[in-house]
Chains A and B, each alone.
Chain A
Amino acid sequence: MEQQPILQVENLQKHFPIKTGLFAPGGKRTVKAVDGVSFSLERGTTLGLVGESGCGKSTTGRMIARLMDPTGGRIVVDGVDISQLGGRDLYHFRRKVQMIFQDPFASLNPRQSIGTAISAPMVAQRITPQGGLKNRVKELLEQVGLKAEHYNRFPHEFSGGQRQRVGIARAISLNPSVIVCDEPVSALDVSVQAQVVNLLQEIQQDTGVSYIFIAHDLSVVRHISDQVAVMYLGKMVEQGSRDELFDNPRHPYTRALLSAVPLPDPRQARAQEKIRLRGDLPSPANPPSGCVFRTRCPLFTTLGEEQKQRCVGEVPVQAAAGSPACHHSTLAGALAAGVQ
C-alpha cells in the first residue's frame, strides 16, 4: 500500500503588505515572498530547498512550521490541513513540525542554561517524559553528541558546531515528524559541518523523521537530499529527485545555479561549463510579468520574437511534478550545447 506523504504543500502563498508612505496608487501593494509553491515530502526522506537569497525559502519553511501564517494555499501534514489552524489545535500541531535555524542561539536567552533551553519545548507542551525531564534532556544531549554534564553550561561556552547540536536536541525533543532545517550548517567550518550533517542523517535513520533542508551550499544539499526543489522569486521553478536534478537540470535557472557552484576539484572546475547570470534578483514587490526569470534568463536572449512574447505574457507552470516551469525548456538543451 502506498503511504501518503508526510507533508503536502499546495499553492502556498505569502504576500506581505507593504507599508507605503502616503497612499498606494492602484490599491494595496504586496511583496510576493512566496507565490504559489507546491511540493510533497515523503516519510523519512529529505527535501532540499535551494535558490538565491530572498527567493522565499525561509518564508516557506516558517509557514510549514506555522511560525508564520500563509496568505493562501494548503499545508497538509499527515493528512490534515494545518494552514488555518489556530488556538489549541495549533498548539498541539507544534509537536509535529519543528525548526532548526542557522544560529539557534540568536533567539535564545544567553542567561538560560543549555538544559533549560532544551527542556523549553517539552515544558511548553506540558510533556513529562518517563524518568523525568532532566533525564530526558541528558539523553538528548548524548544523542546529539554532547555530554550530560553540559546541562548546566551556558550558550557562550559553546562553539558554533556545539550550538547547532543544541538546536538539534531541542528540535528532536518532541519527536516531530518533520523538521525544517533553515541553513543549519551555513555558519560552520567544513569539518564541523560534516559532523552536523552526519548527525542529522543518523537521527533520520533512527527516528524516521523527514527534513526540509534549506541551504545555499549545493554540495551539502546534494549529499543530504532525496528530492530537491529550486525556487526563484517566490516561485518553484523545478523539482525532482536529487540525481535527476543535479545530473540533468532542465530549467535555465537551475542550470545557471548549478554551473555557478565552484567545484572542489581543479581539473573539473577548469572544464566546467559556466553560465553566468547578470544583475540581481528583481524585487518581489514588483516582479516581472509572465516568467519571473525572464529579466535574467540566458535562454530568453536567444529566443525569437514570438517565443519571447510567450515568456513576457504568460506565466509558465510546471506541467507535471518533475517538469520545469519554463515555456522553452526543451530548447535549454541547445543552450547547454553552446548555442548562445
Chain B
Amino acid sequence: MTQPQTRPTAVAAPAPKPASAPRAVMTGAFLEVRNLSVKFPTDDGVVSAVNGMDFTLERGQTLGIVGESGSGKSVTSQALMGLLKGTSAQVTGEALFQGKDLVTLPEAGMRQLRGRNIGMIFQDPLSALHPFYTVGHQIAEAYLVHNKATKKQARAAAVDMLGRVGIPSPDMRFDEYPHHFSGGMRQRAMIAMALICEPELLIADEPTTALDVTVQAQILDLMSELQQETNSALILITHDLGVVAEVCDDVLVMYGGQCVESGPVDEIFYNTRHPYTLGLLNSMPTLTTGSGKLNPIPGQPPSLLALPQGCIFSARCEYAALAGDGVCESQRPQFTSEDGHGTRCHLSGPQILSIRNSR
C-alpha cells in the first residue's frame, strides 16, 4: 500500500506499524512520527489525549494540524518538543527527528535540540517569555545560543527581527519588559525569539490566533519567507482553515487524539474523504457564502476518559448508519492511505463521494 512518493510530502504513514518495527527500515524522513500516544493519569481516570499518531514531514514543507479544541493538537506538539518529560504523562511510540527518537531522548539531549534545531511558538506567549528579563535581552540570548556573535551584533539581530515581526520602534522596545507589551506584541516577540534561531523544525501552536488579520498576514508571510531562506520544516497548529489553505502544503486533521485524515492541502479541501473533515468544512462561513444557515457538526467531542469502542467520531457522524451492520459503533477503523491521501473511516473515499453526490 505504501506508494513511492513523487515529492516530499507530509502524510500519515499507512496502517500503523507495530511499535517494535526495526529502526533499519527508517525511511530517512526528516521527521517521522509513528504510533505516538500520550496518556495523562488523573483523579477521574486516564485521559487518552493522543491515540496513535503517524506522520512524516520533510524539510521545506509546511504541515497544518487542524481539529476541534481538545483534539490533542497541543499535546502532540508538547510530546514532540519533549515538554512532557518528567511529568505524569505517559508518552509512547516514536518520533524520529533526523533519526533521533524524541520520545526516548534524555532531557539533556532534548535541551540541545530545542532552540537550536527545533523551535516552538506556544499558544500562550506568557509561558515562553521570562518576566524578569527585557524582551530584547531574551531574543538576543536566543540568537547567541547558535551564533558566534558579540553582544552588539546579537542586539542588532534582535532589533532587526523585532522590526520584521512588526513591532514598532524596535530599538526602543528592545529594553522593555514583557509586561510592557500588549498581548499581540508579546505574541510577536515570542515569534521573533523562535525565528531568530532559524530552527530546522518549527512547531507553531496557534501562532496568530490572537492577532488581527492584518498582523496575522504579516507574520505568516514572514514565517514562509524565513522557511524558504532556511529550508526548514514547519508544523502549524491552527483551527483556522483559511490559514491552512493559505500556507500549508499538507494537512492533518485530528479528532479525539487521532489523525482522521491527512494529505496534500488540495486533496483535503477538494477531495475530502473523512466525514469529520467534511463537517468541519461545512460548518465554516466563507467570504463568498451567502447568509443562509450554517451547518454545525451536531453533538460534542467524545470524552477522552472513555473513548468509544468503535469509530471515535461515530456518535456525531451522519454517515455511520450508511456503513451498515453497526460496524462504526463496534469497530475502530484503520488508517488507510492511497496516493498520499489517508483517512480513518470504514467507508472509502469513493463511497463517501457517491453518498454526497446522491443527496
**Shortest Cβ distance from residue A255 to the other chain B in the assembled complex, whole angstroms:** 11
In the A-B complex, the 4 residue pairs with the smallest Cβ-Cβ separation, listed nearest first, are A262-B242, A223-B285, A194-B294, A194-B296
Taking a contact as CB atoms closer than 8 A, the residue among B167, B184, B286 that contacts A53 in the complex is B184
Chain A count of residues within 8 A CB distance of the other chain:
43
Taking a contact as CB atoms closer than 8 A, the residue among B167, B243, B284 that contacts A190 in the complex is B284
Q: Does A90 sit within 8 A of B, measured CB to CB?
A: no
B296 engages A261 (CB within 8 Å): no
A191 engages B218 (CB within 8 Å): no
Q: How far does the alpha carbon of A159 sit from the alpha carbon of B299 in the complex, in Å?
A: 12
Chain A residues in 8 Å Cβ range of B269 = 264-266
Chain B residues in 8 Å Cβ range of A223 = 285, 289, 291, 294
Q: Mark out the residues of chain B between 280 and 300 whose CB falls within 8 Å of any chain A CB in the assembled complex.
A: 280-281, 283-287, 289, 291, 293-297, 300
Q: Does B240 sit within 8 A of A, measured CB to CB?
A: yes
A246 engages B287 (CB within 8 Å): yes
A-B contact count (CB 8 A): 125
Most buried by A among B214, B215, B220, B286: B214
A260 engages B217 (CB within 8 Å): yes
**Given A216-B213, A256-B214, A262-B243, A191:B266 Cβ within 8 A:** no
Most buried by A among B243, B291, B297: B291
Q: Does B351 sit within 8 A of A, measured CB to CB?
A: no
**Shortest Cβ distance from residue B169 to the other chain A in the assembled complex, whole angstroms:** 9
Q: Does B246 sit within 8 A of A, measured CB to CB?
A: yes
Chain B residues in 8 Å Cβ range of A267 = 266, 270
Q: Does A219 sit within 8 A of B, measured CB to CB?
A: yes
Taking a contact as CB atoms closer than 8 A, the residue among A195, A265, A280 that contacts B286 in the complex is A265
Between-chain CB contacts (< 8 Å), 27 pairs: A52-B212, A53-B184, A160-B69, A191-B279, A191-B280, A201-B291, A220-B285, A222-B285, A222-B287, A224-B291, A258-B287, A259-B217, A260-B213, A261-B287, A262-B216, A263-B245, A263-B246, A263-B287, A264-B244, A264-B286, A266-B246, A266-B266, A266-B269, A274-B217, A276-B214, A276-B217, A276-B221
**Shortest Cβ distance from residue B105 to the other chain A in the assembled complex, whole angstroms:** 33
B-facing mask of A239-259, CB < 8 A → 1, else 0? 000100010000000001111
Q: Does B324 sit within 8 A of A, measured CB to CB?
A: no
A residues with a Cβ closer than 8 A to B are 52-53, 159-160, 189-195, 197-198, 201, 216, 218-220, 222-224, 242, 246, 256-269, 274, 276-280
**Given A223-B285, A279-B166, A191:B297 Cβ within 8 A:** yes
Chain A residues in 8 Å Cβ range of B212 = 52-53, 216
Q: Does B241 sit within 8 A of A, measured CB to CB?
A: yes
Q: How far does the alpha carbon of A253 sit from the alpha carbon of B205 in the complex, in Å?
A: 29
Chain A residues in 8 Å Cβ range of B270 = 266-267
A-facing mask of B255-283, CB < 8 A → 1, else 0? 00000000001100110000000011101
Q: Mark out the residues of chain B between 107 and 139 whose CB falls within 8 Å of any chain A CB in the assembled complex.
A: none
Q: Does B239 sit within 8 A of A, measured CB to CB?
A: yes
Chain B residues in 8 Å Cβ range of A190 = 68, 239, 241, 280, 283-284
Chain B residues in 8 Å Cβ range of A224 = 285, 291
